[in-house]
Amino acid sequence: MNRLRSLLLVAFAALSAASLHAQWAPLTHDPDAQQRIQWWKQARFGMFLHWGVYSIPGRGEWVQFAEQIPVDQYALLATQFHPEHFDANAWAEIAKAGGMKYMVLTARHHDGFALFDDPGSTFTATKSAAHHDFVADYVSAVRKAGLGVGLYYSPLDWRFPGFYFPGLYQTSALELKAQYARQIDQLASHYGKLDILWFDGGGNEWLGFGGLQFTGSGWQQRPKSQPYAGSFDWEDTKTVGHLRQLQPSLILNDRTNAPADFRSREGDGALGDFDNTQPWELCTTITEGAWGYQPGAKVKPLAQLIRLLVGAAGRDGNMLLNVGPRPDGQIDPPQADRLREIGTWLAHNGESIYATRGGPWLPGPYGVSTHNGTAVYLHLLKAPESGTLSLPAPPVKVLSAQLLNGPAIPFTQTADTLSLTPPAIAPDNLDTIVKLTLAQPWTSNSVLPVPTK
């Protein structure tokens, strides 16, 4: 029964967290924005790591909230957190082997435990059993491996009643805000150059998870049409402005109220629509279940993960794939093995993913397309019904068609239609990639529609 209750709470929490993302921060109009995000748009694929004291109970990063573990009792986990196999170089090696180009580590999640030193808090890895600054090791290992350095940070912290009721617990809410400003300053000033700050749980609409207002018929979620109207303000623009001053080339996602560089989509189900008008990233997990470590969690099949990566690239987005290292610091071997399989696939097919843009054909029943210069890659995720794939012809001549790293494929191009006859797609095939070479580079942002069948 308790298990059921906690599952329901997790489901509620995840649902309310996800539904909050509808109210996005604006994207920045900073003149340097296009340039600073360029490397990230080319990188396409990154590793997310959720790791902290919640990895010890192994019931996901929401365990404290979901099981309503008293703050003092939860804090004792820090006395057991001394990961004997932590090796940030090993993490970076696995990310590289997986074909990932950047990494994002939970410097601090909603439970408040900081993996870095904060002079204003004792709930840190430096002042508990580990006596170690994991962020310092991580940043230097990731940098040394030549990958983009990202940190995740949650302004919200469950230990502060002021997060839930900022009006009622004003002092606590102000302390929470001060912690946010101080920790962001700490992260931005002591670890050298950072590339990504990945916020989660910031912005006024997250207060109390967007809810907990008393209406007479009980505590309820705030309807989206009635955003938080209390006096508390995270002052994101101030804190994030300071952050940008300290780290001018940093890029940020959209989970605070401050202008962001890219949008976050969360979970396999949020792959969503094609969008080449703004940078975005799908974050999701390599295992079924939570983001933090869960012993024995099922690792998603290779085909599912490849299709998500290809699906994101073909919709013009990135993918940030999460692993939840064990409390001893190691990435669970079944997860590391799966990443290496993805890396092997990318070693053969990476030219159709890295540095490409989505399109020109929109995603459809055939699969998706990506392009780079004169090369267009058709990712056939399903065999064409008649054996022939017919697409609206591009307004430029197709010079050749071939399987990527394979033989030529028969095709015809008329004013209206491009028809291709790819070889039969085996049912277990991950992705059949046809490479077209155009007479001129495809530089336009415009897209070509696809037949719906």
Q: Name the residues that contact ligand GLC, by CB under 6 A.
A: 17, 50, 61-62, 200, 266, 283, 291
* Residue closer to ligand GLC (CB basis): 40 or 291: 291
* Residue closer to ligand GLC (CB basis): 46 or 422: 46
Closest CB 266 distance from ligand GLC, rounded Å: 5
Closest CB 123 distance from ligand GLC, rounded Å: 18
The owner of tokens 């992705």 is 431
What are the DSSP E strand ranges found in 27-77? 45-49
Is 342 within 8 Å of 335 (Cβ atoms)?
A: no
* Residue closer to ligand GLC (CB basis): 110 or 379: 110
Identity (one letter) of the amino acid at 174?
Answer: L
What are the DSSP E strand ranges found in 59-159? 102-108, 148-153
Closest CB 200 distance from ligand GLC, rounded Å: 5
* Residue closer to ligand GLC (CB basis): 234 or 291: 291
The three-state (H, E, C) secondary structure of 265-290, written as one string: EECHHHCCCCCCCCCEEEEEECECCC
* Residue closer to ligand GLC (CB basis): 56 or 381: 56
Identity (one letter) of the amino acid at 88?
Answer: A
Closest CB 158 distance from ligand GLC, rounded Å: 11
Closest CB 77 distance from ligand GLC, rounded Å: 17
Identity (one letter) of the amino acid at 302?
Answer: L
Return d(Cα 168, Cα 232) in angstroms, integer.
11
Closest CB 22 distance from ligand GLC, rounded Å: 13
Who contacts 172 (Cβ-Cβ below 8 Å, separation ≥6)?
Answer: 160, 161, 162, 163
226, two tokens: 């009635």
Return d(Cα 209, Cα 163) in angstroms, integer.
9
Closest CB 283 distance from ligand GLC, rounded Å: 5
Closest CB 67 distance from ligand GLC, rounded Å: 15
**Collapsing DSSP states into helix, strand and coil, what is residue 162?**
helix
* Residue closer to ligand GLC (CB basis): 62 or 411: 62
Cβ-based neighbour number of residue 263 at 10 Å = 19
Return d(Cα 410, Cα 236) in angstroms, integer.
56
Task: Bin 44: left if φ > 0, else alpha if -120 < ψ < 50, else beta.
Answer: left
405: enclosing H helix or E strand: none
**Collapsing DSSP states into helix, strand and coil, what is residue 11?**
helix
Q: Which residue is nearest to ligand GLC (CB)?
A: 17
* Residue closer to ligand GLC (CB basis): 50 or 300: 50
Cβ-based neighbour number of residue 79 at 10 Å = 11
**Start-end of H helices in 315-422:** 333-349
Closest CB 94 distance from ligand GLC, rounded Å: 20
Return d(Cα 116, Cα 108) in angstroms, integer.
8
* Residue closer to ligand GLC (CB basis): 61 or 133: 61
* Residue closer to ligand GLC (CB basis): 282 or 418: 282
